[in-house]
Structure 1
Amino acid sequence: MFDLRQYLEGLDLLYSSGQGNEAEAYLKKGLKQAAAAGENGSILAILNELMGYYRAAGRYEECLLCADQAMELADAMGLAGTMEYGTMLLNVATGYRAAGNYAEAEALYRQAHLIFRKHVTGPDYRMASLHNNLSLLYSETGRLDEAKQELELAMDIIRKLDDAEIEVAITHTNLGNLCFQMQEIEEGKRHMEMAVRIFEKTRDGKDSHFASALSGLGEACFHEGDLESSANYYRRALKEIDRFYGENEYYRVTKQNLSLVSDLLGRKQAAEKSKMKGMELARAYYEKYGKPMIEIKFPDYAGRIAAGLCGEGSECLGYDDVLSTDHDFGPGFCLWLTKKDYRKIGARLQEAYEALPKEFLGYKARNTTSHGQKRVGVFEIGAFFEELTGYRKAPEDDESWLSITQENLRTATNGEVFDDPLGKFSKRREGFLREPETVRLKRLCLSLGRMAQAGQYNFPRAKRREAIGAMYFSLSEFIQASTETAYLLNETYMPFYKWKIRGMETFRRIPELCTLLEELMQKDLRDTGVEKIIEQICRMVVGELNAQGISDRKEVFLEEQKGAVFERLVLMERKKGQKDD
């Protein structure tokens, strides 16, 4: 005779004593013993336990094999329609969900729900578990609102049950994870904190969901920028996962998260300690290792290699801070060669560069992402500028200049040159530093026209129609066009979009425009102050156009100013044509 109760107590003891990695062998042995005893009910119970083990371990093929065997056995035993059958369906459905077979899982959950509704009259753990698992399915298939509703139904049931503290904690954990998916980070963290408090107070070492709650808090702290706490929670989660399942896929993912957080924490601490900006770090790294490397290994080219840090990255703009250290940041610099020199030593110089020490002044090696490739290292001068602008050297005609965006021109000309003994790189760079006046005026014509159309004409019309969408897009277009106009009037290339406002803070001309744009962004669309700020910005632009002698008109409607700029442009091109003749 097979004693199922005693057998399951032994299984619980394995988990509680930290020997969860021995559970598989124990369960398989139990299957053989139950089969030898002819105990189908025991076989079914062990199959359900084995399903849960394989599911948690990420071994889905074996989980579904157990699920099929369990369903065949239950049908043969005539259990269809019973609560036992519904409970088994719930377990099987969860296995299918974990394996990504969502349609099959949802159909099985529905069958289980029908059975539970028929038999359950009051608060019941199995009904709560069904809502919990349906929620997970909905969240994994993008139906987040439905997922949250199911979890709230589960919580209503569980709170009415006796001795259900652990189940309440599990549901808080699930709600926390769902809130993270919905970008409701604060609420998610509250749920995780409640879950951890319950687990720490009442857990008896038998529940693996504690690790999920700890990981959730690790994620929440990461989003908040509290890297120390995040790393601590991930470490605790790893211990719990290892205790129950060993080094499975969940363990590896959590370990990877811990590694990422620890790396970022180290970079953050180095930045806070040194107070060094990225450009200073690059220059110091070059002086310490780069320059000596060139002099020792490439003495014949030491007077021909340019060095510095230019191109993409906030450090090239001088806008980097502690947060910037989380990606594409660390010791590094650029080396630029002429086409002839690149053919001769480019590959060898790159190898020598890559052999330089990876850590410097407490900073770890650059944490390069897929988007941050080729920002440092060895470049051929012409190829460097072609990659950023589409041209190996500054264009000679306006049409070509206009094909290069302001953002790309800013990227190609920012940063610093540390050494350029040959002067070739600096000369090529200077060609891109200032576009022709006719090109600036052509860009101004476009941006002024967009300001007039979007802000002075279309926004008030959209407002009269109460067309919210049109109001948003009109205001957005006006802000963008105003920003472009401001940079053009300051004769400065506009940077990548997230740095546009930051770049305006140092404007010499119409510096007040930055504050007005930020104020405009915070206004309610229906506020009458929106149109007042639009007109104030337009008057400010007109004043600067007059001050620079680009226009002598006083009209605030910028379509008129666009006409004045165009007339000046025509006059300039006519004089240029006469001079060429």
Structure 2
Amino acid sequence: MFDLQRFLEGLDLLYASGKGREAEGYLKRGLKEAASCGDDGAILAILNELMGYYRAAGRYEECLLCTRQAMELADELGLDGTMQYGTMLLNAATGYRAAGKYQEAETLYAQAYEIYRRHIMGPDYHMASLHNNLSLLYSETGRLKEAKRELERAMEIVRKLDDADVEVAITYTNLGNLCFQMNETAEGKAHMEQAVRIFEKMPDGKDSHYASALSGLGEAYFHEGNLEASQACYQKALDEIFRFYGENEYYQVTKRNLEIVSDLLRRRQAAEKSQMKGLELAKAYYEEYGKTMIEEQFPEYAGRIAAGLVGEGSECLGYDDAWSTDHDFGPGFCLWLTKKDYRKIGQKLQEAYDALPKEFMGYAVRNTTEQGKRRVGVFEIGTFFRNLTGYKKAPKEDKDWLSISQESLRTAVSGEIFDDPLGKFTKRRAAFSAEPESARLKRLYVSLGKMAQAGQYNFPRAKKRNALGAMYFSLSEFLSAAVETAYLLNKTYMPFYKWKMKGMEEFQRIPEIRVLLEELMEKETTDKDIEEKIEQICRIVAGELKEQGISDREDDFLEAHKASVLEKLMEIEKDKGHDGQKPVD
């Protein structure tokens, strides 16, 4: 006779002693022995254990094969409707869910629930497990609120059970993962911390779900920016997964997460240690390796290649910090060639650039994302500027200038040129820096109109109507237009949106407007003094328009100053010999 109890105790011992990778062989041997004894009940129990093993190991085809065999055997044994049958259905449903067969899984969960409902009167492990697993199904099919409700039901049950620490910890882990999906990061982290604390108090070894809790906590720390704690959690999780299942799919995913966090941590530590900005790093890397490479491998072109770092990225604006190292950051620079030179040596120069050392001053090779491709390397001058602005050369007509966003123009003129013996790149970039006064005024005409319409006219009207949506959108439009106006009055191109406020710290004209805008951003749309704050900002703008001789109006209503801008534009167009045309609002 097959001793199932002794066999399952041996299985538990394997897991508890960190020999989980030996479980498959142990289970298969038991299956054969039970079959030779003709013990169908033992066979069914072992098939259920194998289902769980293959599911956790990511071997879904084998999991479903065991599932089908178990269901056929249970039917043959006439177990339909029993608690044992319900548990087998629960395990089978979980296997189908893990394999992505959600409809089949949901059907089986429903059948298991009906059986449990008939047999279970009070708090019970089986019902808690069903709610836990049903929650996972709902979360994987996008029904997150339903998923959270099922987990809360499971937690309500397991808290009432004796010696249920493992089940409570598993439920906390599942709640944490679900909260992350729902962008409830703080709550998710709290659940993961609870789960880890429970698992780590267990005297007889950790449950296999401990790894999931550690990974979840690692994710939470990552989103907080605590890379050291995140790295530690992912490393512990990796060790636990290897101990139980070896290098399975979950192991590989966790390993990749650990590598990402470790790489970011090394980069951040290098940045904090060196206190070096991205432009400084690029220049030092060029001086150390770039110059030598050009002089030794392309001596006849040494006096024709421009070098520097210009274009996209916070380092080109000088706004980078240790947090900027998480993507598209590291040793690298640009080399610019004329069209003729690029045809001759562009490919070879790029190959030589690619062969430069990948680490420098503690920084690893650039961690380039899909969006950050081709920020460094070898470029033809005209193509470089066309990619940034849509034009190979600075345009001549206002309509062409106005087709380029301020953000694109700021990108084209940001950064630093390290060497330019021919001067061609420097000249091309200087032309993009010199937007005509008429184009600036046309942009200003539009932005002033938006400030007046959104902030001084529409916001107060929306507030009288208590139209919350209109109030929010009016305020948003006003803020955006006010920032653009401030840059135009400083004759400085506006950077990418996330750096707009940072860039305002460099203003020479009306620098006080930045603080006022930030104060306005902090207010609720229903605040009583919000209209006064809008008017205060408009007064500063009106004063600067008069200071620059663009307007002579005394009115604080910016629509009146917009008319003065139009008059100024007409004078400029007349001096050019053109018929004045009103800018498009």
Flag the 1:322–1:519 CA change in 2: closer, same or farther, 3 A.
Answer: same
Query: 1:579 Cα deviation (Å)?
Result: 11
* Distance in 2 (alpha carbons) for counterparts of 1:89 and 1:578: 83
| Structure 1 residues 473-522: Cα deviation after superposition (integer angstroms, max 9, x where no partner) | 11111111111111111110000000000001111111111111111111
Correspondence for 2:435? 435
1:84 and 2:99 matched: no
Correspondence for 1:151? 151
Contact (CA 8 Å) 1:523, 1:529: kept in 2 or not? no
* Distance in 2 (alpha carbons) for counterparts of 1:92 and 1:454: 60
Query: 1:184 Cα deviation (Å)?
Result: 2.3
Letter of the 1:12 counterpart: D
Correspondence for 1:560? 560
Contact (CA 8 Å) 1:89, 1:111: kept in 2 or not? yes
Moved more, 64-73 or 359-368: 64-73
* Distance in 1 (alpha carbons) for counterparts of 2:520 and 2:147: 37
| Structure 1 residues 521-575: Cα deviation after superposition (integer angstroms, max 9, x where no partner) | 1101101221111111111111111111111112222222222211211221112
Flag the 1:94–1:317 CA change in 2: closer, same or farther, 3 A.
Answer: same
Correspondence for 1:138? 138
Correspondence for 2:199? 199
Correspondence for 1:323? 323
Correspondence for 2:112? 112
- Where do 1:328-367 residues align within 5 Å? 328-367=328-367
Letter of the 1:425 counterpart: F
| Structure 1 residues 17-67: Cα deviation after superposition (integer angstroms, max 9, x where no partner) | 222112222222222222232222212111111110111011112111221
Letter of the 1:20 counterpart: G
* Distance in 2 (alpha carbons) for counterparts of 1:64 and 1:141: 20
Correspondence for 2:59? 59
Query: 1:200 Cα deviation (Å)?
Result: 1.5
In the alignment, structure 1 segments of 5+ residues that lack a partner are: none
* Distance in 2 (alpha carbons) for counterparts of 1:519 and 1:143: 39
Letter of the 1:464 counterpart: K
Correspondence for 1:173? 173
Correspondence for 1:458? 458
Letter of the 1:134 counterpart: L
* Distance in 2 (alpha carbons) for counterparts of 1:40 and 1:89: 17
| Structure 1 residues 407-432: Cα deviation after superposition (integer angstroms, max 9, x where no partner) | 00000110000110100000000110
Correspondence for 2:509? 509
1:380 and 2:383 matched: no
Contact (CA 8 Å) 1:283, 1:308: kept in 2 or not? yes
| Structure 1 residues 420-478: Cα deviation after superposition (integer angstroms, max 9, x where no partner) | 01000000001100211111111111111111121112212222222222211111111
- Where do 1:27-106 residues align within 5 Å? 27-106=27-106
Correspondence for 2:7? 7
Contact (CA 8 Å) 2:444, 2:488: kept in 1 or not? yes
DSSP-derived class of the 1:379 partner = strand
Letter of the 1:556 counterpart: D
Moved more, 412-421 or 106-115: 106-115
Query: 1:578 Cα deviation (Å)?
Result: 6.5
Question: Under a length normalisation based on structure 1, what TM-score does the superposition of the two structures give?
Answer: 0.98
Letter of the 1:160 counterpart: K
DSSP-derived class of the 1:307 partner = strand
Contact (CA 8 Å) 1:50, 1:63: kept in 2 or not? yes
Query: 1:292 Cα deviation (Å)?
Result: 1.2
DSSP-derived class of the 1:372 partner = coil
Correspondence for 1:17? 17
* Distance in 1 (alpha carbons) for counterparts of 2:196 and 2:172: 9
Contact (CA 8 Å) 1:445, 1:562: kept in 2 or not? yes
DSSP-derived class of the 1:251 partner = helix
Correspondence for 2:570? 570
DSSP-derived class of the 1:370 partner = coil
Correspondence for 1:546? 546
Correspondence for 1:394? 394
Query: 1:290 Cα deviation (Å)?
Result: 0.5
Correspondence for 1:298? 298
| Structure 1 residues 250-293: Cα deviation after superposition (integer angstroms, max 9, x where no partner) | 11111111111111111111111111000011111111111111
In the alignment, structure 2 segments of 5+ residues that lack a partner are: 581-585
* Distance in 1 (alpha carbons) for counterparts of 2:447 and 2:579: 29
* Distance in 2 (alpha carbons) for counterparts of 1:160 and 1:474: 53
Contact (CA 8 Å) 1:241, 1:250: kept in 2 or not? yes
Correspondence for 2:211? 211
Moved more, 93-102 or 276-285: 93-102
Letter of the 2:403 counterpart: S
DSSP-derived class of the 2:308 partner = strand
Correspondence for 2:250? 250
* Distance in 1 (alpha carbons) for counterparts of 2:439 and 2:369: 35
Contact (CA 8 Å) 1:15, 1:206: kept in 2 or not? no
* Distance in 1 (alpha carbons) for counterparts of 2:96 and 2:464: 54
Query: 1:203 Cα deviation (Å)?
Result: 4.9
Contact (CA 8 Å) 2:222, 2:230: kept in 1 or not? yes
Contact (CA 8 Å) 1:451, 1:482: kept in 2 or not? yes
Query: 1:96 Cα deviation (Å)?
Result: 1.3
* Distance in 1 (alpha carbons) for counterparts of 2:323 and 2:461: 42
| Structure 1 residues 163-217: Cα deviation after superposition (integer angstroms, max 9, x where no partner) | 1111111111111212222222222222222212211112523620011111122
Letter of the 2:305 counterpart: I
Contact (CA 8 Å) 1:173, 1:192: kept in 2 or not? yes
Flag the 1:74–1:389 CA change in 2: closer, same or farther, 3 A.
Answer: same
Moved more, 216-225 or 275-284: 216-225
* Distance in 2 (alpha carbons) for counterparts of 1:458 and 1:44: 72
Flag the 1:486–1:38 CA change in 2: closer, same or farther, 3 A.
Answer: same
Correspondence for 2:272? 272
1:520 and 2:520 matched: yes
* Distance in 2 (alpha carbons) for counterparts of 1:202 and 1:349: 60
* Distance in 1 (alpha carbons) for counterparts of 2:578 and 2:158: 87
* Distance in 1 (alpha carbons) for counterparts of 2:39 and 2:282: 72
Moved more, 144-153 or 475-484: 144-153
Contact (CA 8 Å) 2:200, 2:206: kept in 1 or not? no
| Structure 1 residues 213-250: Cα deviation after superposition (integer angstroms, max 9, x where no partner) | 11122112212222112111111111110110000011
Contact (CA 8 Å) 1:238, 1:255: kept in 2 or not? yes
Correspondence for 2:126? 126
Contact (CA 8 Å) 1:166, 1:203: kept in 2 or not? no
1:286 and 2:290 matched: no
Contact (CA 8 Å) 1:546, 1:553: kept in 2 or not? yes
Letter of the 2:380 counterpart: E
Correspondence for 1:483? 483
Contact (CA 8 Å) 2:573, 2:579: kept in 1 or not? no
